[in-house]
Amino acid sequence: MKFELEEYHRGVTDEELLAELRRVALELNKTAISRADNDERGKYGTTTYIRRFGSWFKALEKAGLEKTRTPMNLSEEELFQNLEEIWIKLGKQPRYAEIQKPLSKYHVGTYENRFGTWRKALERFVTYINSEETASSEEAIKFLEPEAATRHKTKRNINWRLRFLVMRRDNFKCKGCGRSPATDPSIILHVDHIKAWANGGETVLENLQTLCSKCNIGKSDLE
């Protein structure tokens, strides 16, 4: 995705912008082009069209092109889970230009359409994740009564939000060997109980750790 300086595009006319869309469509032999198509082949960034015409669809319509479909029926949780996966792979907050395939399932424009801007999407994601931190600590379960059937105050399953909190705390690195997907894409991180759930350990932040798949298998062999 190109780095765009807005001031260079202020003097561009509407017709020049629309002509560029038609050129990309002709080059790709398509009657409709996606945001990703434009960001890869076009002279002007997708956000330029949104600012000028109000939306990507309106820009396509004015250019005489068909509208591309976007996954508008996706839930916020699906969009957030995609962000979580990207964050873990990179080991850091993802940048606007990184939200594209194959790293991301969805184009950055999907987040802009849903939340208004990419920054607002990140803010909503952080708020959503942090709400889990309050509910998943030893302090939070202190006064809960264990369930008779399991003798536990928490469920064994580690949900994706809690998993992300643990990995973020552990800097997206294996606590056993220190390896990370950010430096070695073959590394797969897991979150595991320090004191096994079967031995009375609870599913709370303090009793969870990040391990790579190899270290996690080794840990299981020792239990």
Q: What is the residue range of 155's domain?
A: 146-222
Instruction: Say what the alpha-carbon torsion angle 45, 47, 50, 53 is, to the nearest 10 degrees.
Output: -50
User: Tell me: the pLDDT tens digits for 44-93?
Assistant: 888 888 888 888 888 888 898 876 555 557 889 999 999 999 999 999 99
Site of tokens 């995609």: 82
Whether pLDDT at 23 is above 90: yes
> What's the gap between Cα 9 and its chain centre?
30
User: Tell me: the pLDDT tens digits for 142-164?
Assistant: 999 999 999 999 999 999 999 99
Q: List the structure tokens of 77.
A: 């949780």
Per the rule left: phi > 0, alpha: psi between -120 and 50, beta: everything else, 203 is beta
75: Cβ–Cβ under 8 A, 6 or more apart, which residues?
none
User: Do 155 and 215 share a domain, yes or no?
Assistant: yes
Q: Provide the β-strand partners of residue 192.
A: 209
Q: What are phi and psi of 157, to 5 degrees?
A: -65, 135
User: Tell me: the pLDDT tens digits for 127-140?
Assistant: 999 988 888 999 99
The total number of structural domains in the chain stands at 3
88 assigned to some structural domain:
yes
68 assigned to some structural domain:
no
> Does the global pTM surpass 0.85?
no
